[in-house]
Amino acid sequence: MKEKYRAPKGFQDIIPPDSLAWQHIDDCARGTFHRYGYDEIRIPVVEHTEIFSRSIGESTDIVEKEMYTFEDRAGRSLTLRPEGTAPMVRCYIQHGLHTESSPQKYYYSGPMFRYERPQKGRFRQFYQIGAEAFGIDDPYIDAEMMSMIRDFLYCVGLGSLTYEVNSIGCVKCRPDYKKALHDHVYSRIDRYCDDCKRRYETNIMRVLDCKVPGCVEASGDAPLIRDFLCEGCKEHFNSFRDYLGLMGVEHSVNPRIVRGLDYYTRTIFEITTTELGSQNAVVAGGRYDKLVEDLGGPPVPGVGFALGMERLAELISGKMSNKMPVPDLFIICMNEDARKAGVAVAHELRERGLRCETNYTYASLSKQVKRADKAGARYVFVIGTDEVQRGIVKFKRLSDAKEGEIALDDHESMIKIISDNGS
């Protein structure tokens, strides 16, 4: 049957068993972030458009061409969030969280929206889990954050990804670098693509990020920010790397990473894989020491990251497909009276944490057992007229057909039998 409706382009459903990988990622994130002292914040999906244009930058790809912006019925310009950092900063300022003792460390998760050209690993609605730490400019926290990401990725089952770091300086040293880069690009502007010619005017550092072969070649010998860092930024970066070493976070410096959002200062990083084709970044982030102030808050530094759920889920999906949960038992009730007797059994066993399925139609016993077997149930419990009269339930272990009877109200024995794995 050909379906009449499909999800819009770039939007997707996550169905079992894929959703298992997502749950696993969620569990690892919550567990790991909790151990590092991060608490959850839930932010809205929609914000005032200005929050993004002022923070991500007017001349970035996201703000220029990727935002889902609309007017509400009162004529206000709203935008479906393309990322979570700016909303988190807005939330941080709005609730006066800076008045609490530093640092304030939070995580968030949920869908983000960017009108990008969909392809493998790139969607118009995609999920991020992110974390932000406010109030500390010591690079120790940047390194600790990467150590937290490393622990999280280990938990997920991804021990061998590439960790790349860089520093893009601060308001003091970056202008000199940008000038040098401008001069370099200008001297060979004809070799750059149209996008880069535009970036030359609006966002020069993004030229280094362009994947078009001609541009990569043209900027091959471009000046690098590391040669322009002021003493403070140099020290910050070196100390960050020393801490990474101390924490055992293996990494390399990639002086060409610049990131696609304007709010970064000093530390930036990307974690990539070779298994996903061109959309290879699974985690990315960095420091943003001016953003809270730029959005109207006090001068509070920040550092954070976000990970792409779809990309991580894709990397582990093969490992998860055999992990679909199976019922511990399947209760087969042969008629309405039996069902009435079975209700209490199912309720009690579920309360004790067992995954308990039951039948919703009264087919023959053999059909029901086949169904239970197909669902992967380890045990079937059968309740019919005879069992109700005798106050018992018959059980059968499907792996070896071991059978027996238990009193209908003897829930302890039921749990013992089911938990008694196989013997």
Interface with ligand HAM, residue 203, by CB under 6 A: no
Stretch that binds ligand HAM, among 125-133, 185-193, 321-329, 345-353 (CB under 6 A): 125-133
> Based on CB atoms, which residue is closest to ligand HAM, 138 or 410?
138
CA distance 363 to 392: 21
Interface with ligand HAM, residue 192, by CB under 6 A: no
Q: Which helix (H) or strand (E) holds 371?
A: helix 365-374
Interface with ligand HAM, residue 103, by CB under 6 A: no
Interface with ligand HAM, residue 83, by CB under 6 A: yes
Interface with ligand HAM, residue 368, by CB under 6 A: no
Interface with ligand HAM, residue 174, by CB under 6 A: no
Read off the amino acid at residue 190. D
Tell me the β-bridge partners of 307.
129, 283
Interface with ligand HAM, residue 151, by CB under 6 A: no
Interface with ligand HAM, residue 306, by CB under 6 A: yes
Shortest distance, CB of residue 116 to ligand HAM, whole angstroms?
5
Size of the site for ligand HAM (CB under 6 A): 27
Alpha-carbon separation of residue 289 from 85, 106, 213, 225, 229 (angstroms)? 13, 16, 33, 18, 16
Among 136, 282, 383, 418, binds ligand HAM (CB under 6 A): 282
Interface with ligand HAM, residue 114, by CB under 6 A: yes
DSSP classification of residue 208:
G
Residues contacting residue 336 through CB under 8 Å, at least 6 positions apart: none
- What's the token pair of residue 7? 């999800």
Interface with ligand HAM, residue 41, by CB under 6 A: no
CB distance 101 to 37 below 8 Å: no
> Based on CB atoms, which residue is closest to ligand HAM, 136 or 382?
136
> Based on CB atoms, which residue is closest to ligand HAM, 291 or 345?
291
> Based on CB atoms, which residue is closest to ligand HAM, 289 or 387?
289
Interface with ligand HAM, residue 104, by CB under 6 A: no
SS (H, E, C) 30-79: HHHHHHCCCEECCCCCEEEHHHHHHHHCCCCHHHHHHCEEEECCCCCEEE
Alpha-carbon separation of residue 108 from 26, 38, 194 (angstroms)? 11, 10, 37
Interface with ligand HAM, residue 387, by CB under 6 A: no
Shortest distance, CB of residue 236 to ligand HAM, whole angstroms?
16
CA-closest candidate to residue 312, choices 110, 112, 129, 81:
129
- What's the token pair of residue 158? 């991804």
Residues contacting residue 60 through CB under 8 Å, at least 6 positions apart: 203, 206, 260, 261, 262
Interface with ligand HAM, residue 342, by CB under 6 A: no
Q: Residue 245, Cβ neighbours under 10 Å: how many?
A: 12
Interface with ligand HAM, residue 311, by CB under 6 A: yes
252 alpha carbon, distance to own chain's centre: 23
Alpha-carbon separation of residue 85 from 242, 265, 418 (angstroms)? 27, 14, 47
Among 304, 331, 359, 382, binds ligand HAM (CB under 6 A): 304
Interface with ligand HAM, residue 84, by CB under 6 A: yes
Shortest distance, CB of residue 260 to ligand HAM, whole angstroms?
6
CB distance 139 to 239 below 8 Å: yes
Interface with ligand HAM, residue 85, by CB under 6 A: yes
Interface with ligand HAM, residue 106, by CB under 6 A: no
- What's the token pair of residue 124? 């118009």
Among 132, 209, 328, 387, binds ligand HAM (CB under 6 A): 132
Interface with ligand HAM, residue 357, by CB under 6 A: no
Interface with ligand HAM, residue 308, by CB under 6 A: yes
Stretch that binds ligand HAM, among 24-32, 123-131, 209-217, 333-341 (CB under 6 A): 123-131
The single residue listed with the structure tokens 């511990």 is 328
Interface with ligand HAM, residue 281, by CB under 6 A: yes
Stretch that binds ligand HAM, among 164-172, 302-310, 342-350, 352-360 (CB under 6 A): 302-310
CA distance 282 to 279: 8
Compute the half-sphere exposure of residue 46: CA atoms within 13 Å on the CB side of its CA: 9
Among 57, 169, 223, 285, binds ligand HAM (CB under 6 A): 285
Stretch that binds ligand HAM, among 178-186, 198-206, 299-307, 412-420 (CB under 6 A): 299-307
Shortest distance, CB of residue 8 to ligand HAM, whole angstroms?
14
Q: What is the binding site for ligand HAM (CB under 6 A)? A: 83-85, 114, 116, 121-123, 126, 128, 130, 132, 260-261, 281-286, 304-308, 310-311
